[in-house]
Amino acid sequence: MSEFDTITALATPPGTGALAIIRISGPEAFNETTSFLKEKELFNNAKANTIHLYTFLEKEKSDIIDEITAIKYRAPRSFTGEDMVEIICHGGAVTVERILASLVSGSIRYAQKGEFTKRAFCNGKTSITKAEAINQLISSKTRAQQKCAIQNYIGGYEQKIILWKELVENILIELESAIEFNHEDDLANRDSRKKVIEKIANLTDKIDEELEKRNKIEDIEKGLDIAIVGPRNAGKSTLFNLLLGYNRSIVDSNKGTTRDFVSEMKRVVGVPIRFIDTAGIANVENGVEQQGIEKSVALLKNSAVSVWITAADEDFKSQEKVLIEEGGNKVVGILNKIDLSENKEKEQFFKDKGLSFLRTSAQKSNERDRVEKFILRQAQENINSVSYDCVIGSTRQRKIFEQIKNELQAIGQEQDLKEEIIAFHCREILNKLQEFIGKQTTEGVLNKIFDEFCVGK
Amino acid sequence: MKSDIIVVGGGHAGIEASYIAAKLGASVLLITGNVDFIGQMSCNPAIGGIAKGNIVREVDALGGLMGKVTDRAGIQFRMLNKSKGVAVWGNRAQADKILYRSNCRAMLEEESNLSIFQDFVTRLIYKNNTVCGVETQTGQKIEASAVILAMGTFLNGLAHIGMNTISCGRTGEPPSLLLSESIQERGVAAGRLKTGTPARVDGRTIDFSQLSLQEGDQDPWPFSYSTTHTLKNKAACWELKTTVSTHDIIRENIDKSPLYGGKIKGIGPRYCPSIEDKVLKFGDRHGHTLFLEPEGLDHHEMYLNGFSTSLPYDVQTKMIQSLPGFSQVRMIRPAYAIEYDYFYPTQLYNTLESRKVENLYFAGQINGTSGYEEAACQGLVAGLNAALKLQKKEPVVLGRETSYTGVLIDDLVTKGTEEPYRMFTSRAEYRLLLRQDNADERLMPLANKLGMVDKVLFERRQEVWKKREEFKKQLRTVLIAPKAWDSLHKQEKTEVKQKVIASELLKRPQVSLSDICEVIEYSMPDRENAVTIEADIKYAGFIAKQKKEIERLSKIEHARIPDNFDYDAVEGLLSESRGKLKKIHPLTLGQASRISGVTPADISVLIMKLVKNKIDVSRETAG
Q: For residue A442, is pLDDT > 50?
A: no
Q: Which residue has the higher pLDDT, A297 or B38?
A: B38
Distance from C-alpha of B46 to C-alpha of B235, rounded to nearest angstrom = 12
Distance from C-alpha of B409 to C-alpha of B349, rounded to nearest angstrom = 9
Q: Given this model, what pLDDT does residue A414 score?
A: 66
Find chain A residues with C-beta within 8 A of B429's C-beta: 427
Give the residue-averaged pLDDT of B112-121: 96
Query: Are A180 and B612 within 8 A, CB to CB?
Result: no
The alpha-carbon radius of gyration of chain B (Å, integer) is 26
User: Please, are residues B452 and B23 in contact by the beta-carbon 8 Å criterion?
Assistant: yes
Chain A nearest CA to B411, separation (Å): 18
Q: Which residue has the higher pLDDT, A114 or B387?
A: B387
Selecting from B84, B431, B572 the residue whose C-beta is nearest the C-beta of A124 gives B572
Count Cβ neighbours within 10 Å for each residue of A252-277 and write b for 16 or more, e otherwise: eeeebbbbebbbbeeebeebebbbbb
Lowest mean pLDDT among A158-167, B11-20, B49-58, B81-90: A158-167
Q: In what order do the strands lie in the sheet with A63-73?
A: A51-58, A63-73, A84-90, A19-25, A7-10, A109-110
What pLDDT band is residue B447 in, cutting at 50, 70 and 90?
very high
Domain A157-218+394-439 has CATH 1.20.1440.230: no
pLDDT above 90 as % of chain B: 75
What pLDDT band is residue A186 in, cutting at 50, 70 and 90?
low
Residue B420: CB atoms within 10 A of its CB come to 24
Give the residue-averaged pLDDT of B460-488: 94
Distance from C-alpha of A72 to C-alpha of A42, rounded to nearest angstrom = 12
Q: Is B155 left (phi over 0), alpha (psi -120 to 50) or beta?
A: beta
| CATH architecture classification, B558-612 | Orthogonal Bundle (1.10)
Query: Are B604 and A441 within 8 A, CB to CB?
Result: yes
Q: Which of A145, A331, A334, A135 is nearest to A239 (CA)?
A: A334
What pLDDT band is residue B67 in, cutting at 50, 70 and 90?
very high
Query: Are B571 and A81 within 8 A, CB to CB?
Result: yes
Mean pLDDT of chain B: 91
CATH (one of 3.30.70.60, 3.20.20.70, 2.40.50.140, 3.40.50.300) for A223-384: 3.40.50.300
Class of domain B2-151+189-194+340-449 (CATH, top level): alpha beta
Query: Are B556 and A417 within 8 A, CB to CB?
Result: no
Distance from C-alpha of B429 to C-alpha of B594, rounded to nearest angstrom = 12
Domain boundaries, chain A: 7-125, 157-218+394-439, 223-384
Query: Are B87 and A414 within 8 A, CB to CB?
Result: no
Helix or strand run (H / E) with residue B341 = strand B336-343
Give the residue-averaged pLDDT of B417-422: 90
| CATH architecture classification, B200-338 | Beta Barrel (2.40)
Query: Are A179 and B88 within 8 A, CB to CB?
Result: yes
Q: Which whole-number Å values give the CA distances from B537 to A71, A139, A396, B551, B601, in the listed order?
A: 65, 47, 33, 21, 38
Size of interface A-B (CB pairs under 8 A): 101
Domain B455-545 has CATH 1.10.357.10: no
Cβ neighbours of residue A27 under 8 Å, at least 6 residues apart? Answer: A1, A2, A4, A5, A6, A82, A83
Task: ipTM value, please give it.
Answer: 0.82
Q: Which residue has the higher pLDDT, B487 or B441?
A: B441
Q: For residue A447, is pLDDT > 50?
A: no
Q: Given this model, what pLDDT does residue B617 score?
A: 42
Selecting from A416, A441, A455 the residue whose C-beta is nearest the C-beta of B510 gives A416
- Which tens digit of pLDDT belongs to each residue from B342-365? 999 999 999 999 999 999 999 999
Q: Given this model, what pLDDT does residue B620 score?
A: 42
Domain A7-125, CATH homologous superfamily name and number: Probable tRNA modification gtpase trme; domain 1 (3.30.1360.120)
What pLDDT band is residue B59 in, cutting at 50, 70 and 90?
very high
Residue A160: CB atoms within 10 A of its CB come to 15
Chain B nearest CA to A143, separation (Å): 30
Q: Given this model, what pLDDT does residue A193 score?
A: 79
Query: Are A176 and B426 within 8 A, CB to CB?
Result: yes
If you ran DSSP here, which 8-state letter would residue A15 be given? Answer: S
Chain A nearest CA to B49, separation (Å): 9
CA atoms within 13 A on the CB side of B582: 12
Chain A nearest CA to B609, separation (Å): 9
Q: Given this model, what pLDDT does residue B291 score?
A: 94
Find chain B residues with C-beta within 8 A of A443's C-beta: 552
Q: Which of B426, B537, B547, B557 to mutate to test the interface with A (most CBs of A within 10 A)?
A: B426
Query: Are B84 and A419 within 8 A, CB to CB?
Result: yes
What pLDDT band is residue B437 in, cutting at 50, 70 and 90?
very high
Query: Are B600 and A438 within 8 A, CB to CB?
Result: yes
If you ran DSSP here, which 8-state letter would residue A392 be given? Answer: -
Give the residue-averaged pLDDT of B219-235: 96
Give the residue-averaged pLDDT of B598-619: 65
Chain B: residue whose CA lies nearest to A119: B608
Rounded-to-5 percentages of helix, strand, coil across chain B: 40, 20, 40
What pLDDT band is residue B618 in, cutting at 50, 70 and 90?
very low
Q: For residue A446, is pLDDT > 50?
A: no
Sign of CA dihedral A367, A370, A374, A376: positive
User: Please, are residues A43 and A34 in contact by the beta-carbon 8 Å criterion?
Assistant: yes
Distance from C-alpha of A88 to C-alpha of B529, rounded to nearest angstrom = 76
Distance from C-alpha of A227 to C-alpha of A296, rounded to nearest angstrom = 8
Cβ neighbours of residue A380 under 8 Å, at least 6 residues apart? Answer: none
pTM for the model stands at 0.79
Give the residue-averaged pLDDT of B302-307: 95
Residue type for position A293? I
Query: Are B431 and A420 within 8 A, CB to CB?
Result: yes
Give the residue-averaged pLDDT of A272-297: 78
- Chain centroid offset of residue B308 CA: 21
Strands B114-118 and B28-32: parallel
Sign of CA dihedral B110, B113, B117, B121: negative
User: Please, are residues B55 and B404 in contact by the beta-carbon 8 Å criterion?
Assistant: yes
- Which tens digit of pLDDT belongs to each residue from A385-407? 777 778 887 777 888 899 999 99
Give the residue-averaged pLDDT of B269-275: 78
Selecting from B426, B432, B552 the residue whose C-beta is nearest the C-beta of A180 gives B426
